[in-house]
């Protein structure tokens, strides 16, 4: 899945400006450092652009800087998902430096209730503003992840926060991420030395931004691995963290869900799927048309066979009548031949009377009156019980007759005629 990883700008804070340093311009266009990747491992391109000019990818991840996240270790309270945010506030409220309602909280991935867990705390209004600015530019963030998080083995990364001389120790900071938390401190002074355990764990990984590599090696007294910002962003994007939780959880409903689905479906990674689906649809359409053509030919062949049979049997009938309704012609001509031969048909009076007589209940007297129409025999049946009517119907049904009883009359018809 193609991925766009964006570094959110640093949270603005009050600080003293050095001589000659210009005040920040609140109207300045906001630009984002970004990196793109086809697989989340190797980067394709990197740069800096406004939200509206950022590359479009199927997945968007925003990275929060180390200094903008505070970490708290608590025992995760046992509470339903709908009440977990309130439960976290009750546990962590005393440790927060700001009002609990102004802080956004996020729980570590794979956290279990009743177990120790890390909780990330971020300025809620600032994060909402950043996400809204990206969305206004047409960039919808799928996940928000921290640049560094408590983890094992320890990671020490040297980089530059403020616009000062990166070649000096005073312009370089160290982010120390280990199993007991994350801290970012300047190299000048003794706090950074006190932060690193003695002896340093053998598994510690030391990295540095290119501009801070010289100062880092001088301070550490050992070589460090140079890690450009694009590699750090991709590394953060591969983490399981997602700070979009609770009221900042990404909503995918209605038109938004359809737009996200379409965006993912049109991604380069799903191009083989789209091609396969298109081939399948075309194959289905071709197959259905071939099958319809085959069925049409079969119906036409059967119709031609019937018309040929009728023409051979009744040569006096015109071709136009046969083509119009061959079945009706055959029925009519057969009935005419039967009449000429003096033989009754299935719907004539004699066969229907014989069938009615065979099914007549023994306890009933002979019929008082009857009426016959073509294929329909009506018999007087006053005083018949439901059982007698059902018996009469049951005897005639296998012979292909339908029996209807109402208002003291029984009507016998051919089942196929009634249908």
* Rounded CA separation 184/406 (Å): 97
pLDDT at site 120: 93
Residue 209 has a pLDDT of: 93
CB contact at 8 A, 152 and 179: yes
How far CA 304 is from CA of 290, 293, 326, 327, 405, in Å, comes to 21, 16, 10, 12, 43
Indicate if the pLDDT at residue 30 is higher than 80: no
Q: Domain residue spans in the chain? A: 3-148+239-266, 150-226, 271-343, 349-418
pLDDT tens string 300-330: 898 888 888 888 887 777 878 777 887 787 7
Quickly name the fold that domain 349-418 has: Gyrase A; domain 2 (3.30.1360)
Across the range 25-43, mean pLDDT stands at 78
Contact (Cβ atoms closer than 8 angstroms) between residue 61 and residue 1 = no
Q: What's the CA gap between 252 and 7, in Å, rounded? A: 23
Q: DSSP assignment of 121-188, as one string?
A: EEEHHHHHHHHHHHHHTT---SEEEESS-S-SS-EEEEE--SSS-TTSGGG-EEEEEETTEEEEEESS
One DSSP character per residue, 54-104 reads SPP-SEEEEEE-GGG-EEEEEEPP---GGGHHHHHHHHHGGG-SS-GGGEE
User: What are the tens digits of pLDDT across the range 87-140?
Assistant: 988 888 877 777 888 899 999 998 888 899 999 999 999 999 999 999 998 899
* Entry field: residues in the chain: 419
Q: What is the CATH number of domain 3-148+239-266?
A: 3.30.420.380
CA distance 331 to 125: 87
Nearest of 30, 36, 48, 46 to residue 237 by alpha carbon? 36
Mean pLDDT of the region 64-80: 91
**Neighbouring-strand partners of residue 413:** 376, 402
Q: What does the DSSP 8-state code read for residue 252?
A: -
Residue 19 has pLDDT above 50, yes or no: no
Give me the pLDDT at residue 15, please. Answer: 52
Give the range among 101-105, 210-214, 226-230, 365-369 with minimum mean pLDDT: 365-369
Task: Give the mean model confidence (pLDDT) for residues 16-21.
Answer: 49
pLDDT 10s digits, 183-218 = 999 988 888 888 888 888 899 999 999 999 999 999
Is the per-residue pLDDT at 53 higher than 80? yes
User: Which of 81-85, 140-144, 208-212 has the least mean pLDDT?
Assistant: 81-85
pLDDT score of 380: 85
Confidence (pTM): 0.59
Beta carbons within 8 Å of 224's beta carbon, 6+ residues apart: 158, 206, 207, 208, 213, 216, 217
pLDDT digits (tens, 9 = 90+) for 371-402: 888 778 888 888 888 888 888 888 888 888 88
Q: How far apart are CA 307 and CA 322, in angstroms?
A: 6
Mean pLDDT of 54-80: 91
Helix, strand, coil proportions of the chain in percent (round to 5)?
Answer: 40, 20, 35
Query: What are the distances in angstroms from CA 71 to CA 87, 112, 180?
Result: 17, 18, 10
Residue 329 neighbours by CB distance under 10 Å = 21
pLDDT for 260 beyond 80:
no
Q: From CA 247, how far away is CA 224, in angstroms rounded?
A: 40
Overall average pLDDT of the 222-247 stretch: 92
pLDDT digits (tens, 9 = 90+) for 157-188: 999 875 554 444 457 899 999 999 999 999 88
Instruction: For the sheet with 43-50, list strands across it.
Output: 43-50, 31-37, 3-7, 59-64, 143-146
Angular region, 304: left φ>0, alpha ψ -120 to 50, beta rest:
alpha
Q: Which residue has the higher pLDDT, 340 or 232?
A: 232
Q: Which residue has the tokens 């009754």?
A: 344
Two tokens, residue 311:
């023409």
Q: Is the pLDDT of residue 413 over 50?
A: yes
Please give the pLDDT value at position 162. Answer: 53
Per-residue pLDDT, 43? 83
């Amino acid at each position: 899945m193609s991925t766009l990883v964006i570094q959110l700008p640093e949270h603005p804070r009050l600080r003293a400006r050095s001589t000659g340093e210009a005040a920040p311009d609140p109207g300045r266009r906001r630009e984002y450092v970004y990196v793109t990747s086809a697989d989340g491992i190797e980067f394709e391109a990197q740069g800096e652009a406004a939200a509206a000019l950022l590359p479009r990818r199927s997945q968007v991840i925003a990275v929060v800087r180390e200094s903008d996240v505070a970490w708290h270790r608590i025992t995760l309270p046992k509470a339903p998902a709908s009440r977990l945010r309130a439960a976290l506030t009750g546990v962590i409220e005393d440790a927060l430096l700001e009002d609990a309602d102004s802080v956004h909280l996020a729980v570590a991935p794979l956290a279990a209730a009743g177990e120790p867990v890390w909780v990330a705390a971020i300025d809620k209004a600032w994060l909402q503003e950043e996400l809204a600015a990206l969305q206004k530019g047409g960039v919808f963030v799928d996940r928000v992840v921290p640049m560094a998080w408590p983890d094992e083995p320890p990671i020490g990364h040297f980089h530059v926060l403020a616009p000062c001389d990166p070649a000096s120790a005073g312009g370089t900071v160290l982010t120390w991420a280990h199993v007991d938390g994350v801290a970012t401190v300047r190299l000048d002074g003794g706090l950074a030395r006190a932060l690193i355990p003695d002896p340093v764990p053998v598994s510690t990984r030391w990295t540095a931004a290119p501009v801070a590599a010289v100062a880092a090696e001088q301070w550490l007294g050992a070589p460090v691995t140079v890690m450009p910002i694009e590699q750090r962003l991709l590394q953060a994007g591969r983490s399981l963290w997602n700070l979009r939780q609770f009221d900042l959880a990404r909503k995918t409903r209605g038109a938004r869900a359809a737009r996200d689905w379409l965006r993912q479906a049109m991604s380069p990674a799903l191009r083989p799927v789209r091609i396969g689906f298109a081939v399948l649809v075309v194959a289905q359409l071709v197959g259905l048309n071939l099958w319809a053509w085959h069925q049409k030919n079969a119906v036409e062949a059967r119709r031609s066979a019937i018309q040929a049979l009728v023409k051979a049997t009744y040569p006096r009938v015109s071709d136009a009548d046969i083509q119009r309704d061959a079945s009706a012609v055959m029925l009519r001509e057969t009935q005419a031949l039967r009449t000429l031969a003096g033989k009754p048909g299935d719907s004539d009076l004699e066969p229907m009377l014989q069938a009615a007589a065979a099914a007549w209940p023994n306890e009933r007297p002979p019929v008082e009156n009857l009426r016959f129409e073509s294929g329909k025999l009506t018999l007087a049946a006053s005083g018949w019980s439901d059982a007698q009517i059902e018996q009469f119907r049951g005897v005639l049904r296998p012979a292909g007759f339908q029996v209807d009883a109402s208002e003291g009359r029984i009507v016998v018809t051919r089942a196929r005629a009634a249908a």
